[in-house]
Amino acid sequence: MKFSGYPEPGELVVGRVDEIEDFGVFVDLEEYEDKRGLVHVSEVASGWIKNVRDHVGVDERVVCKVLEIDEDAQQIDLSIKDVNDHQRSDKIQEWKSEQKAEKWMELAFGEDMSDEQYSTVANALFGAFGSLYDGFEQAAIHGAEALEDTDLSDEDVEAIVGTARENVSVPYVQVSGYVDLRAPGPGGVEDVREALTVAGGNGEVPDEVDLEVTYVGAPEYRIRVQAPSYKTAESELEAAAGRARETIESVGGTGEFHRDRRTEEE
C-alpha cells in the first residue's frame, strides 16, 4: 500500500536510488505514490565527498530522513547521513513487514479485491494498530477479539483472522473459552473448586504454556491460554475444559464448554 500525499519532516522513509548527479541523489519513495526526493551531496555522507557514486548506487535501496517539504514546488529534501544504523535496520524491517502484510491482504480477500474494500480494511487496521502488519499480528495472537473496536464486518474479521493464523509468526498466541460448572448438594462449591484446580493442570501444563482460570459469574468460568502457537493453545484450552468437565461429572455435576461469554439473561 502506498500513501497519497507527502511524508512529514523528520519522518524516515524507504526509497530506491533512481538517478545520481554530481550535486546529489534522486530517490523514488517506496511508500508514497509518485513521490521523488533529492538527497543533496552534502546529505549523502559525513565529511568531504569526492564522488557521490562511491557512497550510493543506482537502484540501491536507502533509508532517508525527510528534511523539508515544499508541496507547491513538489520538492522533498532528504538526508541519508542523518539516519544511523539502528534506525536504518528498524525502518527496513518495518517496510518489509508491510510488504508481507500486503500479500496477506491478497490471501485474505483475493487479488481482485476492489479498491473500496481494500481501503476499508486497510484504514481500519491502520486506525486501530498503526500498520497492516500489526493488525494481522494482533489478529493472529488474539483472534477476533483484537478487531472488536473496528467497524469491519464479521466476514472481513473472519478472513483476516484465518489468514493471520495461517501465515503470521508471532511469539505467542492467546485463546480463551468458558466452562459452565454445576454440582449438586452441600459440597457443590468444593466440587467446583476442585474441578477448576484440575482444569488449571496441577502444574502439569507445559512450561511454554500459560493457563489461567478465572471466575466470571456462577456457573461460568473463563479459561485463558497463552502458547507459542495457535494449535498448541487450542489443544491446551480443550484439554483444560475437558479436565474440568470430567472432574465435575465424576461427582454427579454437569459441565459445558463454550467459546463465547454468556449472560444470566441467556
- Domains present along the chain, CATH in parentheses: 12-83 (2.40.50.140), 86-167 (1.10.150), 173-258 (3.30.70.1130)
What b/e readout covers 126-163, taking b as 16+ CB neighbours within 10 angstroms?
A: eebbebbbbbbbbbbbbbeebbeebebeeebbebbbeb
Tell me what the pLDDT averaged over the chain comes to: 91
Best CA proximity match to 175, nearest among 246, 229, 234: 234
CA distance 158 to 250: 37
Confidence (pLDDT) at 202: 75
Determine phi and psi for 191, rounding to 5 degrees: -65, -40
Confidence (pLDDT) at 261: 67
Q: pLDDT digits over 206-265, tens only?
A: 877 899 999 888 799 999 999 888 888 999 999 999 999 999 999 999 999 998 766 444
CA distance 223 to 118: 35
Residue pLDDT tens, the chain, 266 long? 678 899 999 999 999 999 999 999 999 999 999 999 999 999 999 989 999 999 999 999 999 999 999 999 999 999 999 999 999 999 999 999 999 999 999 999 998 889 899 999 999 999 999 999 999 999 988 889 899 999 999 999 999 999 998 998 877 888 899 999 999 888 889 999 999 999 998 777 887 789 999 988 879 999 999 988 888 899 999 999 999 999 999 999 999 999 876 644 44
Specify the DSSP element, H or E, that contains 15.
strand 12-21
CA distance 35 to 29: 6
C-alpha cell at 167: 501465515
Determine phi and psi for 260, rounding to 5 degrees: -110, 145
Query: If you search the block for the grid coordinates 544504523, which residue do you land on?
Result: 85
Q: Which is it for strands 24-29 and 36-40: parallel, antiparallel or unpaired?
A: antiparallel
SS3 (DSSP) at 147: helix
Cis, peptide link before residue 219, omega less than 30° from 0: yes
CA distance 175 to 230: 8
First to last CA, the chain: 44
Do residues 136 and 164 lie in contact, with contact meaning Cβ atoms separated by under 8 Å?
Answer: yes
Q: Which is it for strands 75-79 and 24-29: parallel, antiparallel or unpaired?
A: unpaired
Confidence (pLDDT) at 1: 65
